[in-house]
Amino acid sequence: MKHGGALGGKGFCTMISDDPRIHVSLEHLRGLEGAARGLSFLPRQPSRSVLNGRHSSRLRGRGLNFEEIRGYLPGDDIRSIDWKVTARTGQPHVRVFTEERDRPALLIVDQRMSMFFGSRLNMKSVTAAEAAALAAFRILNSGDRVGGVVFDDDELIEIRPKRSRRALYAMLESIARLNRKLHAEREAIRQPRSLNDVLKASGRMATHDHLIVVLSDFDAIDDTTHRRLSGLAGHNDIILMLVHDPMAREMRGEGRLVVGDGGLQVEVDFGDRRIREALQKFSSQRLQRIFDWQRELNLSVLPLSAGEETIPQLRRLMGQIG
């Protein structure tokens, strides 16, 4: 088991590790570009995609630009017929639109101490960093602008959406730097950063018609989180990549461990069944609350487990074959 800011014990990481499951490097994140091929965040999703079906209606995609009115041709969609021009000319005419080439995307990447935990494979912070890199490359290579808000408990870095590889690399550099700041003996933060403050800052950058992808474990959410996401979802497409550890769904006896939130720490006996059941109930309720936001706020939730490899997991969620 790997332990970090959320849970700790004999497996404490006392320094920056070169283990890619614990810390990411900029070179690793930049090397994920090829793996991003085949992923899509547009409304037309593969049949196997988590975003297909009832979720696809939540993704507006790019807008449409009016191009021209021309005569009807066999195979044209009858829904595009302009009935006024058709009535005036006596011949069927259709309105032709082209899809806008640009839909800016904003990736909100959580690297707080609550993300520095992994019980089976990766730290949650590593899974979030890798998924952010994959999404960023796919969005840029689709011709859209991409930017981000990268944050930990004491830093918040804003990268305005640009159609620029240099800006994308700057975002990846910020992710890698904040990721490598995480370690179990990091000095406690008196007041850990709230996700609500980050969402408020993001709202100033993504006013409307953006794709907003939030990669976080959604630690310490409340009614304000719900309200902030509701405001963003009113004018943007939102995907919540819910990064969780397998322990959130199934807690087993693991002896005495240290539980912390980046500020305070307490030792918990995971061998006590009652304590495990109480924590299990709390974690399950928090996960379910986030899944309920799909219906309540008209957004999409993609669960990402830190207990599995990020690339095949994200491919499977997005319906990519092979």
Same domain, 115 and 91: no
d(CA 161, CA 238): 16
In this prediction, residues 116-126 reach a mean pLDDT of 92
Residue range 263-307, pLDDT digits in tens: 555 555 556 667 566 666 666 788 889 999 988 998 999 999 999
| Any domain includes 322 | no
DSSP character string of 146-194: EEEEEE-SS-EEEEEEES-HHHHHHHHHHHHHHHHH--TTSPPPSSPPP
Same domain, 14 and 40: yes
Same domain, 90 and 212: no
Number of domains in the chain: 2
Cβ(37)–Cβ(63) below 8 Å: no
Same domain, 159 and 211: yes
Q: Which is more confidently placed, 198 or 42?
A: 198
Same domain, 150 and 281: yes
Same domain, 111 and 220: yes
Same domain, 245 and 161: yes
| Any domain includes 2 | no
pTM: 0.75
Residue range 172-218, pLDDT digits in tens: 999 999 999 998 777 666 778 999 999 999 999 998 889 999 999 99
Same domain, 39 and 91: no
| Any domain includes 1 | no
Task: DSSP letter for 13, please.
Answer: -
Residue 160 sits in a domain whose CATH number is 3.40.50.410
Range of the domain at 148: 7-58+102-317
Which of 74, 99, 124 finishes a domain? 99
For residue 101 the two structure tokens come to: 């080439």
236 residue type, one letter: N
d(CA 306, CA 124): 5
Same domain, 50 and 109: yes
Same domain, 21 and 70: no
